[in-house]
Amino acid sequence: MRTTASTGWRWAVGMAAGGVLALAALGAGARPYITLGPTDILSLDQPRVTFGLVQPGTNTLVGPTLYNSAALDTGANGVLLAKLAYVDDEVYVQATRGDGTPVYYDEMGVAGSEWLAVLKFYDLIFEGSNTNSEIRVSNVRALASPTLDIGGFAGIVGMPAMTGRVTTLDLEPMSNLEFIDVAFSAQVPASRPDSYHVGLSTLALDPIGQLQPGDPLPTMVGLPMIDGIRTRQGGLTSAGRLLLDTGAQNVILSPTMIEAMGIDWTRTVDEGGDVVDELEVGGIGGFTLMPMVYVDQLVVPTSEGVDLIWTDVLAGVLDLGGLDGVLGMNVLTSGYLGSIFGDPSEPYLEQVVLDFRQENAWNMRLDLNPAVNVVTPNPDVRGDFNGDGVVTLSDINPFKLALTDPAAYAQSYLWVDLTAIDPNADGVLTLSDIHAFKQLLTAGPAAIPEPAALALVGAGLAVLMGRRRWQR
């Protein structure tokens, strides 16, 4: 099977997005968890809005006038007009330089770059499912291309529309083959007993596509990122920082994350590798074939201390210019596709609430279907420094890192509660923990390490002086 899917409009490509950790063991970590179930291959739907550009400070619509549906895309820094925005002979005025030459921006897509026109300032108007609640964002510079085909949408409305407000995605209409219900508000809707929160960091802007210094830039806003996502295949796991992308239909992981799990994405299954299919993706810059591989688990940490686990994830493999990966809509809509075709399983999420009101405090709330909100306790294990639920030789390097650089350890192992796994249980990390850790290691389920290995643990840490307290 070869399917075509648009990945939308990305300004994130080319920006650093944090490191990737290769972990050596299996498990959901030392936190309670909910196993939601298999991930749908593609998203059943993507959020959309009705939109238009109007003359600043007026109600004079410039366009689009005939096709005015846009993808609501958290993976887009700005606003884009594509081919369907021009079918009624709409005319959008392009920004110019002082000498009268038109301004373009060199935008990067999954298959290359493409020059897109930078428009003059317009006001952006848009509305969700409630067509009596129009929202206006003043003085927006959009990008545009009369030849760019992004499927059935006339454009992409990105983060400039969502910043400063709450966006609620009601997924339940998909059960009746209806579109996702999109609503905007100034306040977060009341939490439910089955609500879980995921903190979002911001991927900063980097306008690398400016062709000449001083060119007017399109309106851009940073992108939401989820830190500490883990993926697992067999006995190997990796962790990274993924872009939350409502404009992507599926999960995409970087070659670095995929290779850390021992997955061969360069050869098909028939050739002895792990590629089960190819997906044609594209839009800006053309199209490319993306290898597809299966990953056993995708784990999203929540602020409540409970991990949410999706299984049997069909992930694309693509070099995203420094991004660890993309969390696409198929994760959020999983379960709906199967339920429509008679699968007895339940959809996992009923509602997604995106709170972008306050800078540096973005948040995503996931309202689970009560039927799947079954928490499995995963008690902490003393000495389990890599958070896999057991004490083995693979805990040695994380233990050394915790002693030598607590801040780096805390950043690399976000899911581990250091106080709970303190080897000697005194609440601080000192050289005296080395002996306690050795005892836990030799009593663990793995083969007892050679004396030389244990000696290296002590010798490598003997240079540490003083007490190092936990840094959370």
**Model pLDDT, residue 130:** 78
HSE (CB half, 13 Å, CA atoms) of 412?
19
**Model pLDDT, residue 138:** 97
Q: How far apart are CA 267 and CA 200, in angstroms?
A: 35
Contacts of 8 (CB under 8 A, 6+ apart): 71, 73, 75, 76, 150, 156, 245, 247, 248, 283
Mean pLDDT of 155-167: 97
Report whether pLDDT(113) > 60.
yes
Bond from prior residue into 224 cis (ω within 30 degrees of 0):
no
Mean pLDDT of 4-20: 33
Mean pLDDT of 165-186: 95
Least confident span in 194-208, 377-391, 456-470: 456-470
For the stretch 120-160, pLDDT in tens is 999 999 999 977 789 999 999 999 999 999 989 999 999 99
Structure tokens at 389: 């639920």
Report whether pLDDT(445) > 60.
no
**Model pLDDT, residue 220:** 95
Report whether pLDDT(452) > 60.
no
Q: Predicted confidence band at 424 (pLDDT cuts at 50, 70, 90)?
A: confident
Mean pLDDT of 27-51: 85
| For the chain, counts of helices (H) and of strands (E) | 9, 26
Q: Where are the beta strands (DSSP E) in 32-147?
A: 33-38, 48-54, 61-63, 69-72, 79-81, 104-109, 112-118, 122-127, 135-140, 143-144
Q: Which residue has the tokens 């939350």?
A: 244
For the stretch 324-364, pLDDT in tens is 999 999 999 999 987 777 766 689 999 999 999 998 899 99
Structure tokens at 195: 């609500």
Contacts of 100 (CB under 8 A, 6+ apart): none
CB count in 10 Å sphere of residue 110: 24
Least confident span in 90-94, 129-133, 321-325: 129-133
Contact 367, 169 (CB under 8 A): no
Contact 373, 38 (CB under 8 A): no
Q: Delimit the domains of the chain by residue range.
A: 16-44+196-372, 393-461
Report whether pLDDT(51) > 50.
yes
Q: How far apart are CA 346 and CA 354, in angstroms?
A: 23
CATH class of 16-44+196-372: mainly beta
Contact 118, 54 (CB under 8 A): no
Give 188's DSSP letter: P
The CA radius of gyration of the chain, in Å to the nearest whole number, is: 24
